[in-house]
Amino acid sequence: MQIDAIPFGTTDWSTVTPTEHAGETGKAFWRTRQFGPIRVRMIEYTPGYLADHWCSKGHVVLVVAGELDTELADGRRFTLTPGMSYQVADGAEPHRSATTGGATLFIVD
């Protein structure tokens, strides 16, 4: 990732208006900032959330709170807890997220 032409700044995520995104079950609330081609998000998944699609976008994902279950299209599954992260390239391995008890993620893509 090349980061260019973005001056130093801070983000108080509590002041960023969330947008609601329905999953197959549950909901995701995205607080999003865009810095040129780089999207940065703080996402809260409600308990019982299951993504309604397989994602092929590259991300760096950090679990801030709760527990995240990530399934890859090839059947592999990973459980991440606070302080754990994953990274995946654009088009590399389709993946989808789920959580039983809810989760908060910090994502850069």
pLDDT band at 104 (very low <50, low <70, confident <90, very high): very high
Is residue 34 within 8 A of residue 9, CB to CB? The reply is no
CA separation for the pair 64, 16 (Å, rounded): 17
Confidence bin at 4 (pLDDT 50/70/90): confident
Give residue limits of the domains in the chain: 20-108
What pLDDT was estimated at residue 86? 97
pLDDT tens column, 27-63: 999 999 999 999 999 999 999 999 999 999 999 999 9
**Positive or negative: CA dihedral 40, 42, 45, 46:** negative
Euclidean distance between CA atoms 57 and 92, whole angstroms: 8
Q: Say which CATH topology domain 20-108 has.
A: Jelly Rolls (2.60.120)
DSSP of the chain: ----S-------GGGSPPEEEE-SBSEEEEEEEEETTEEEEEEEEPTT-B-SS-B---EEEEEEEE-EEEEETTS-EEEE-TT-EEEE-TTT--EEEE-SS-EEEEEE-
